């Protein structure tokens, strides 16, 4: 298991949610697979799903449209995916090493959660992780114009917490999120070793 620590230079902490604080990868996969089977009669493979992990919903649907070689109805596909996801969230589990670290430092350093998910889904995930009230700020898809891998969400977190980007430490699990944090000029800890890689 990965040993996590706070960099001595860190003056603020930023955490992704999906795959970082809550082990939701398999739930997201099942939700997208069910949505594409239901609406498009298409069976999404784990390998195909892994290629879109970490992107915002707009980018995910765009990439799925390219995969299926036809335009997908964004609103309908996201509504169905989120409905499938919410019904399956009972199986979500907190990623204990990361949750423990956040809990230990909440109140000692500013903490912001920054996700590409919609706020409603982010709040469900926060509840599943047992983290209600254990952070200072939450940024979701609705709060930025450009989702990850653009650094906007991390730069906005830095602004909200009143800390320069170089003094912010980000905890992320996806290559897309890690790229966004590095582009923001922040310290980055890859926590992907803490989560399950099983999609079935």
200 found inside a domain: no
Tens digit of pLDDT for each residue in 44-59?
999 999 999 889 899 9
Domain identity same for 54 and 105: no
What value does the mean pLDDT take over residues 8-35? 96
From 37, 72, 90, the end of a domain falls on 90
Is 174 within a domain?
A: yes
Convert the pLDDT of each residue in 78-91 to its tens digit: 999 999 999 999 88
Asked whether residue 132 falls in the same domain as residue 146, the answer is yes
Output the pTM of the full model. 0.91
Q: How far is the C-alpha of 198 from the C-alpha of 72, rounded, in Å?
A: 27
Residues 174 and 139 in one domain: yes
User: What is the overall mean pLDDT for the chain?
Assistant: 95
17 & 99 share domain = yes
Domain boundary among 39, 72, 90: 90
Residue at 108 is within a domain:
yes
What is the residue range of 30's domain?
25-90
pLDDT band at 3 (very low <50, low <70, confident <90, very high): confident
Q: Which residue has the tokens 């099942």?
A: 30
pLDDT band at 200 (very low <50, low <70, confident <90, very high): very low
Residue 2 lies in a domain: no
Indicate which CATH number applies to the domain containing 86. 1.10.150
Do 159 and 181 have their domain in common? yes
Q: Which of 16, 18, 23, 173 is catalytic?
A: 16
Locate 87 and state its tokens: 């019904």
Residues 117, 167, 156, 83, Cα dihedral to 10°:
10
Structure tokens at 154: 């991390």
CA angle 154, 157, 159 (to 5 degrees): 115
* Residue 181 and residue 137 in one domain: yes
Do residue 19 and residue 30 come from a single domain?
A: no
Whether residues 18 and 50 share a domain: the answer is no
**Local structure of 191: helix, strand or coil:** coil
Residue 4 placed within a domain: no
Q: Half-sphere exposure (CA, 13 Å, Cβ side) for 34? A: 18
Assess whether 117 and 151 both reside in one domain.
yes
Asked whether 98 and 21 are in contact (CB, 8 A), the reply is yes
Question: CATH number of the domain that 187 lies in?
Answer: 3.40.50.1000
Whether 86 contacts 147, CB under 8 Å: no
Catalytic (active site) residue 16: yes
3-state SS assignment for residue 160: helix
The pLDDT of residue 62 is 96
């Amino acid at each position: 298991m990965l040993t996590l620590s706070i960099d001595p230079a860190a003056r603020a902490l930023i955490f992704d949610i999906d795959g970082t604080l809550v082990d939701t990868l398999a739930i997201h996969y099942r939700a997208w697979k069910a949505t594409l089977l239901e609406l498009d009669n298409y069976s999404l493979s784990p390998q195909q799903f892994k290629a879109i992990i970490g992107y915002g919903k707009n980018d995910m649907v765009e990439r799925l449209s390219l995969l299926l070689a036809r335009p997908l109805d964004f609103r309908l596909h996201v509504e169905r995916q989120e409905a499938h996801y919410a019904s399956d969230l009972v199986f979500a589990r907190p990623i204990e090493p990361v949750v423990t670290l956040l809990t230990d430092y909440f109140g000692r350093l500013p903490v912001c959660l920054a996700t590409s998910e919609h706020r409603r889904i982010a709040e469900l995930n926060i509840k599943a992780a047992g983290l209600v009230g254990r952070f200072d700020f939450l940024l979701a898809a609705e709060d930025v114009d450009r989702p990850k891998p653009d650094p906007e969400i991390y730069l906005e977190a830095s602004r909200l917490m009143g800390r320069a980007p170089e003094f912010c430490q980000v905890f992320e699990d996806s290559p897309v999120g890690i790229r966004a944090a590095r582009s923001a000029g922040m310290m980055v800890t890859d926590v992907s070793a803490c989560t399950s890689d099983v999609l079935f």
